[in-house]
């Protein structure tokens, strides 16, 4: 058994998710199509593959204790010059996201870890592209608005091809769903589960 790279996030639902993903690609961000549009709760984290069941059990507990909350995106922000990122701001639901990510990274849990930067919920729309394109993303999405009820979050795994795939959805109040297309793809093989 080896290691896997996982992440936990709140998916931005349709039609907003695809819309923002297409815009991100249009700004020249080559990673856009490999990263579903999301609000991060656990950034990319390498774990031993044998710990995956413990992670899923932990996330089930976190979700069972959670309750739906309103999410609203509005306008843009940036982490420049510290980090080459332009994002759409989370203006409602940020406090709930902050609490959730703390529970996901609980020091007693299977994915306890420190963050490189202080947690700031957001939806990335440009990352690591040229400055003119970053400026364009910042300006063009300054009036962007979207809202939805957040009813849970999901566990993702990054494949060898760099694409993030959903392994399992966790619904607040209990329950989880394995998407039909879920499965781990390793070195171009067919899904293994």
In this prediction, residue 61 carries a pLDDT of: 95
| Cis amide bond preceding 134, omega within 30 | no
Region 11-34 average pLDDT: 96
| Whether pLDDT at 189 is above 60 | no
- The reported pTM is 0.88
Is residue 46 a contact partner of residue 3, using CB atoms and an 8 Å limit? Answer: yes
Q: Are 58 and 111 in contact (CB under 8 A)?
A: yes
Q: Is the pLDDT of residue 143 over 50?
A: yes
Confidence check: pLDDT of 183 > 90: no
Distance CA 79, CA 22 (A): 21
């Amino acid at each position: 058994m080896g290691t896997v790279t996982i992440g936990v996030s709140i998916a931005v639902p349709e039609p907003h998710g695809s819309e923002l993903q297409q815009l991100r690609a249009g700004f020249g961000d080559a990673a856009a199509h490999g990263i579903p549009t999301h609000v991060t709760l656990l950034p990319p984290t390498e774990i031993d593959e044998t710990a995956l069941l413990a992670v899923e059990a932990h996330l089930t507990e976190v979700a069972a204790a959670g309750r739906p909350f309103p999410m609203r995106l509005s306008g843009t922000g940036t982490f420049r010059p510290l980090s080459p990122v332009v994002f759409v701001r989370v203006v409602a639901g940020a406090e709930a996201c902050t609490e959730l990510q703390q529970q996901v990274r609980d020091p007693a849990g299977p994915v306890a870890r420190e963050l490189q930067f202080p947690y700031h919920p957001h939806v990335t729309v440009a990352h690591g592209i040229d400055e003119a394109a970053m400026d364009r993303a910042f300006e063009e999405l300054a009036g962007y608005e979207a809202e939805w009820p957040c009813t849970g979050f999901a566990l993702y795994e990054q494949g060898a091809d760099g694409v993030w795939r959903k392994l399992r959805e966790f619904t607040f109040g209990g329950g989880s769903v394995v998407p039909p297309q879920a499965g781990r793809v390793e070195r171009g093989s067919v899904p293994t589960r």
